[in-house]
Homo-oligomer: A and B are copies of this chain.
Amino acid sequence: MSSTNLVFQNRDTHRAWLASQAALPAGFRVGCARFDFTPREAPKPARMTLTLIALEQPTPDFAAMFTRNAFPGAPIVVGRARLGEPTLGAIIVNNKISNVCAPGGVEAAERICAATAQLLGLTPAQVLPCSTGVIGWTLPVDALIAALPQAAGALVTGSVLPAAESIVTTDLYPKVRRASVGRGGIVGIAKGAGMIEPNLATMLVYLLTDVRVPRRELRAMLARAVEESFNTISVDSDTSTSDTVVALSSGRVPCDDPADFERGLHQVCRDLAEDVVRNGEGVRHVMRVAVQNAASSALAHALGKAVVNAPLFKCAVAGNDPNVGRLVQAIGKHVGAHAPGTDLSRLRARMGGVEIFARGVFQLDPAKEAALVAHLRGAELYASVPPKNGVFAAPIDFPPHERCVELEIEVGNGTASATVIGGDLTHEYVSENADYRS
């Protein structure tokens, strides 16, 4: 899925590569600020980061897609309304608290927009608010507004990297992807790393371009790109209440070839989506499931999701254990529950190119077992190290490679296909989430 096949030796080589990708398209500035506060609901010291993405001129050409979770955050409620506004001039993002179903949440988001607008000479409705973090807590609005001038004062052109670094929560590293389009370009940044089965997942993604693509076309292109990128990934099957993908055009460069722009947009979205999984909470193996010859693309997509979301298969992958019985279980579970009667008699499955299932039975022997173990080990991002204090943590803060556990499912009852990307289930995931808020 990733358009690259990168290998990084260490943090420095990764950060240097990110910097090389991070050039900000003309017409944009980014700025950040940090402050300490105490959450009202659980009084322990915490730190919040603000990220401001500002256009030099408000643009009519913007697109945004939001979570399908039925309890959307207040910024989602406000953001949906912003889609009807004539222009957008800035995005203000905070981490640590997601402002979901908190008392007075919408009012809090609007106050923050108004304060941001005042600093930038905009109207409040020209500002899109985004929040990620703990669900249920209330935003420290006064402290947040007091920190806004610092973010506005820090606004710079040149690189999106400061924004990519400041929108994160449990991410191990920032995520930046780009595509060149004619004389302009698209740069995208993303925040993962848990509650990721976008429909959308708290995944925040900002796609900035200087290429002039009218709002209507931009929104249609974004919907198609999201469908085949962020909507095909899952870290943990949970769907955040705050997922947001925004595309903004500063319109500085004419769009000579809309198809070329759309290809670039898809590539940036697919690359970022895979980055989000690779940096998913506790992910030690990225799984890529290519489902082919299915009766419908809905079935192909659902089978891919069933595989990457099956906890027992995810655990087996974490342990470099080619327990492919659990893969077949996952397919059979989905079909038995949601598509009974589907003909699976021609289903074939491969892992790392090795056939493991065909003609209704497993195709296994000790030599294949060894090959599958080698494939799993080759796709591992890092070896898990049992910690002295019981809290597992990733020993890396860069992606050492872009290899995946490659799974191919030929359903054999049609012509549709889908590719789904997911992660394994590890001690690092449990450690991250068994006491995330402390």
Contacts and interface: CB of A to CB of B under 8 A. Distances in A.
A211 interface: no
B310 A238 contact: yes
A325 B240 CA distance: 10
Contacts of A357: 101
Contacts of A237: 309-311
Contacts of A336: 67-70, 199, 239
Interface in A224-247: 236-241
Interface residues of A, number: 87
Contact of A70 (B100, B101, B332): B332
Given A135-B328, A238-B311, A344 B70 contact: yes
Interface stretch (A173-181, A254-262, A360-368): A360-368
A381 B134 CA distance: 27
A433 interface: yes
Interface string A171-199: 00000000000000000000000110101
A323 B360 CA distance: 44
Interface stretch (A6-14, A52-60, A384-392, A394-402): A384-392
Contacts of A366: 41-43
Contacts of A111: none
A204 interface: no
Interface in A301-359: 309-312, 315-316, 318-319, 321, 323-326, 328-337, 339-340, 342, 344, 357
Nearest to A235: B311
Could you tell me the dominant secondary structure of chain A's interface residues? loop
Nearest to A310: B238
A137 interface: yes
A425 B238 CA distance: 14
B337 A239 contact: yes
B333 A239 contact: yes
A238 B310 CA distance: 6
A96 interface: no
A71 interface: yes
Contacts of A333: 69-70, 197, 199, 238-239
Given A101-B361, A240-B329, 5 more contacts: A98-B325, A136-B328, A199-B337, A236-B312, A386-B389
